[in-house]
Amino acid sequence: MKEKKRAAAPSHKTNIIPIHWDATFFFERAVRSLDRYHYDKALKYFRRAVEYEPGNPVNHCNMAGILSEMGNYEESNNVLRNIVEELDPAMTECHFYMANNYANMEQYESAEDALIRYLEEDAEGQFLDEAEEMMELLHYELERPMKIASVKAREGYFEHDQARAMLEEGKFAEAVRLLETIVEKNGEFLAARNNLALAYYYMGLFDRAMTTIQEVLAQEPGNLHALCNLAIFHQHAGDAEALRPLVELLRKTVPFHQEHVFKLATTMGILGEHGQAHRHFLRLMKDGALRDDACLYHYTAVAAWNIGRLDEAERFWQQAAKMDPKSNVPGYYLEQLTHVRAGGEAGTASYHYHLPFEEQFKLWEKSSETLPDHMKRDPLVRSSFFWALRHGDRGTKLQVIQALGMIADNEVKDALRAFIQEEQEDDYLKRIAVFVLRTIGVHEALEVHLEGKATTIEHSRMPSRLPEWDPKWQEVLEAALGRMNKHYDLVQQHDLLTLWIDFLSRVYPDAPKLGKVEGWAAALEYLTAKMHRRTISYHEVSERYGTSIATVSKCAKRIDEICGIKEKMKMIFPALDAKGDA
């Protein structure tokens, strides 16, 4: 018996499977526990896996995951933070996990910081869709958009969306800066190049726009957006020979995607191919996806008008008016329709969903004080202003400079800074632009091209050639401009400035002693009004400035003696009676 037992013992030992206590063993046990929803056991096994392989970040990440599942969000984040700070900074998904934990703890600012870091550092984009959902949540909870700058996994796609939004808001210079950065980083991002070309075009930088669109077509000759843009650019340049084959190609094009149909329809309309535009706009109407957009009804109405279908145009504009009652565009064209039916001439209607440029200025003039808000916000209006600043006649440019002074944002400041450096521009217009820049808060030194050479107007609210600028002189200007602000346009205010500087320059260094500045300020307004043929009296202006008629008359006569205002006016307006007070 003993011998049999001794013989059996070795045989029994060979059937025992030894257990290897390693990280893999505990990981597998943890997974089995998770499948059975035994989270406590799973956490215990994950901790053992970490003990066996403390340098393996995956083990730590698994442990952080189960901690999060158990609601231990803070402890989970401590583990995740250790991974990215100590073990493996390349595990960028840990930032997404931390963002989730912070959101569950209702620490939304910290969640935003972690999510931004994930989006900016993660090149794979494994959780991109989930990150976008979290962005919506944070937007809601924080009551503001996220402060994100870039999404690495999209290689500029997020920035491109930002740039497109800037274009829609009329922030063309900002869009250009962002799009140039995107294109520099990713030369094959053709949508960004297309929009960069449009941004240049909206700013009036035609040569840059043409070069950029050619770069798109060099990479993809059949790019529909680029072909449409190129056709519009050729039309602008008056290059009929280059435009003809391009129009023929676009006539034969029948795009499938709604975005392409819309692009082609608007392009054909701008090119004067109204029948083709009408056909494509009706396709979009039948498709139904854009039928809630008042702009589409306007575009279709314009196409119908331009091919003589006035009844159809009327129906579409009436529908646009119902859908967008705050817009004055449908009403304007319905009035034009009534005028045509009464025997008036039928001009060509514009596809742009805003009033014609001339009508914009009429609205501004009626507003008396400032540019209407819708004109400040409308990107197409802003684009027309920037175009007119570069390509309009002298009178239009003068109007535009004043209008831009009413908008007074960073985009305007950039445009005016560029304008005053143009060699070929009129010096008077550039001086007006400098004055506008000063009045809208640009006080730093300005680089200006005046009288055939580059010059710098140093930090000063009001530029002059005088070797010194007495604070009392400035007080006179501020007293006059402060009262004139709502009653005179920027050109007239600039002329007052010029008159004051001219007077001081002629009498310097024997400038008069300035007692009460209001008398001199009132005299400047009086003479400026006379120069612009405005009705004014010494009595009216003396009351507004709180001074006497005698003081205003004395100061005005002194300025006139030195500068010869009335003599100059008699040369310009021979019928003017320069003897007395109007």
543-551: which pairs have CB atoms within 8 A and are 24 or more residues apart?
Answer: 544/483, 545/479, 545/483, 545/518, 545/519, 545/521, 546/518, 547/516, 547/518, 547/519, 547/522, 548/519, 551/516, 551/519, 551/522
Mean pLDDT throughout 458-481?
70
Most confident among 49-58, 157-166, 187-196, 388-397 (mean pLDDT) = 187-196
Percent of the chain with pLDDT over 90: 23
Task: Specify the amino acid at residue 111.
Answer: A
Q: What's the average model confidence in pLDDT over 513-535? A: 87
Lowest-confidence region among 94-108, 302-316, 472-486: 472-486
Instruction: Give the number of other CB atoms < 10 A from CB of residue 322.
Output: 11
> In which residue are the tokens 């231990």 written?
72
Query: What tokens were used for 149?
Result: 């700058």
- Tokens 């279709």 found at: 300
Angle between helices 427-439 and 410-419 (to 10 degrees): 150
Per-residue confidence band for 579, with pLDDT thresholds at 50, 70 and 90: very low
pLDDT, average across residues 498-523: 85
Q: Identify any residues that bridge with 455 across adjacent strands, giving them in sequence order.
A: 448
Q: What is the pLDDT of residue 512?
A: 83
Q: Looking at residue 357, what is its pLDDT?
A: 57
pLDDT at 465: 57
- Which of 140-154, 170-184, 357-371, 440-454 is predicted with the least confidence, judged by mean pLDDT? 357-371
| pLDDT score, position 179 | 92
Q: Is the pLDDT of residue 392 over 80?
A: no
pLDDT in tens, 266-324: 999 989 999 999 999 998 888 766 667 888 999 999 999 999 999 999 999 999 999 98
- Average pLDDT value for residue range 34-60: 79
Question: According to the model, what pLDDT value does residue 350 have?
Answer: 80
pLDDT average, residue stretch 376-390:
69
* Mean residue pLDDT across the chain: 80
Q: Which residues contact 248 (CB under 8 A, 6 or more apart)?
A: none
Across the range 526-552, mean pLDDT stands at: 89
Q: For the residues 22-40, what does the mean pLDDT come to?
A: 72
For residue 214, the model assigns a pLDDT of 94
Q: Which tens digits make up the pLDDT trace of 204-213? A: 788 899 999 9
Residue with the bigger pLDDT between 78 and 509: it is 78
Answer whether residue 332 shows pLDDT above 60: yes
CA distances (Å), origin 479, targets 43, 103, 299, 363, 414: 77, 56, 50, 29, 29
Q: Hey, which of 136-150, 311-325, 474-488 has the most confident mean pLDDT?
A: 311-325
- pLDDT tens figures, 175-192: 888 999 988 888 888 889
CB 90, CB 60: distance < 8 Å: no
CA distance 171 to 180: 14
Alpha helix ranges (H) inside 421-487:
427-439, 471-484
Q: Which of 86-90, 153-157, 343-347 has the highest mean pLDDT?
A: 86-90
The pLDDT score that the predictor gives to residue 278 is 93
> Can you tell me the distance from the alpha carbon of 538 to that of 523, in angstroms, rounded to the nearest whole number?
8
Residue 498: how many CA atoms within 13 Å on its side-chain side?
14
Residue 101, SS3 per DSSP:
helix
Of residues 488 and 283, the one with the higher pLDDT is 283
